[in-house]
């Protein structure tokens, strides 16, 4: 099944790529069924109002605010500041479908204040994580401990009717990089309150040919959010092969194949668009604006047009 899906997906990818190229001159593309939010980390050089304006002008449906240390919203001030930020986004004609919170478990500082404020504002989802493995210790007891902490988080979320989505990263020691560990931790918990935020870029790093297909399918029942980015392999200054994030459609991520799985599984959660490659300058890491603002807006629109066309072609 994986081989068949991969062949079909690559064929669909070529067709979708042609459609995206034809639309590249357009400034915006029609919104589809799924709501696309821009990750506010890339706007931490400006305020909430300007972030909302930039996102609206680019054509996004929403803003995924960072609510963490160094983020757009500080956890200690969430009860006062989140309502103001969300109001500005809604006045701009967008919405806040999710936030990215600095919550690791129910004991994280201000965790309950964050989810309480989310409930008051009608925000259902937040990004959560992450756990790490200690290679000097057996893996299974560590995962069992993380499962207990995840259950405690689910219990807190249940009180407020919200869902935590564990964000998947790639790399050493990262719980969730392989998906199977995260699936084992969460499979018996209530996925209405703890689920997975599946990052297709990181998933492709971990399983480039067919592994991402397996991980997407095994986690589909727990998938509550999706993050979009693309990458290619490149050597660093020391000659090591490492993932290099890049413009979507220029890298190795098979968006058409992934979106086909989302359609099959009837995914309906929030989608986040990330701009974590060097072309956007310091904004890729949330550290400033080091390229002309007009160029930054061009990149925002260009990538969104590409994703909209991919989603349209996939029927999602």
| Euclidean distance between CA atoms 314 and 259, whole angstroms | 6
| Tens-digit pLDDT profile for residues 234-284 | 999 999 999 999 999 999 999 999 999 999 999 999 999 999 999 999 999
| Euclidean distance between CA atoms 270 and 99, whole angstroms | 10
- Domain membership flag for residue 26: no
| Euclidean distance between CA atoms 259 and 9, whole angstroms | 9
| Euclidean distance between CA atoms 312 and 255, whole angstroms | 12
How would you classify the pairing of strands 230-235 and 241-246?
A: antiparallel
Per-residue pLDDT at 28: 52
**Domain span holding position 231:** 2-12+34-314
Per-residue pLDDT at 29: 52
- Domain membership flag for residue 88: yes
**CATH code, domain carrying 246:** 3.20.20.150
| Tens-digit pLDDT profile for residues 100-134 | 999 999 999 999 999 999 999 999 999 998 999 99
Sequence length of the chain is: 316
- Domain membership flag for residue 173: yes
Report the number of distinct structural domains present in the chain: 1
For residues 60-78, average pLDDT: 97
What predicted TM-score, i.e. pTM, was given to this entire model? 0.88
- Domain membership flag for residue 76: yes
- Domain membership flag for residue 21: no
Look at residue 1 and tell me whether its pLDDT is greater than 70. Answer: no
Q: What are the two backbone dihedrals, phi and then psi, of residue 63, each rounded to the nearest 5 degrees?
A: -125, 130
Reference 65, options 270, 267, 277; nearest CA is: 270
How would you classify the pairing of strands 223-228 and 271-273?
A: parallel
Task: Calculate the average pLDDT of the chain.
Answer: 91
């Amino acid at each position: 099944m994986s081989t068949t899906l991969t062949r079909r997906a690559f064929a669909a990818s070529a067709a979708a790529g042609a459609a995206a190229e034809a639309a590249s001159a357009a400034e915006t593309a029609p919104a589809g069924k799924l709501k696309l939010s821009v990750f506010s980390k890339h706007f931490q050089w400006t305020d909430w109002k300007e972030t909302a304006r930039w996102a609206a002008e680019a054509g996004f449906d929403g803003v995924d605010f960072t609510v963490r240390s160094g983020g757009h919203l500080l956890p200690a001030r969430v009860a006062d500041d989140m309502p103001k930020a969300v109001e500005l986004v809604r006045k701009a004609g967008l919405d806040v479908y999710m936030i990215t919170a600095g919550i690791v478990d129910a004991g994280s500082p201000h965790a309950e204040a964050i989810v309480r404020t989310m409930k008051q504002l009608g925000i259902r989802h937040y990004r959560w994580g992450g756990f790490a493995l200690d290679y000097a210790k057996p893996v299974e007891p560590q995962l069992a401990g993380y499962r207990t902490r995840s259950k405690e988080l689910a219990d807190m979320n249940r009180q407020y009717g919200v869902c935590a989505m564990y964000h998947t990263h790639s790399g050493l020691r990262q719980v969730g990089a392989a998906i199977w560990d995260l699936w084992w931790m969460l499979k018996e918990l209530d996925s209405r309150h703890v689920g997975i935020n599946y990052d297709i870029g990181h998933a492709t790093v971990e399983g480039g040919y067919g592994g991402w297909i397996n991980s997407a399918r095994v986690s589909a029942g727990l998938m509550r959010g999706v993050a979009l980015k693309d990458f290619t392999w490149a050597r660093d200054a020391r000659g090591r092969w490492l993932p290099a994030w890049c413009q979507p459609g220029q890298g190795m991520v098979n968006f058409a194949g992934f979106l086909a799985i989302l359609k099959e599984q009837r995914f309906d959660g929030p989608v986040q668009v990330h701009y974590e490659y060097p072309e956007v300058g310091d904004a890729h890491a949330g550290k400033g604006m080091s390229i002309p603002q007009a160029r930054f807006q061009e990149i925002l629109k260009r990538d969104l047009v590409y994703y909209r066309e991919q989603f349209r072609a996939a029927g999602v």
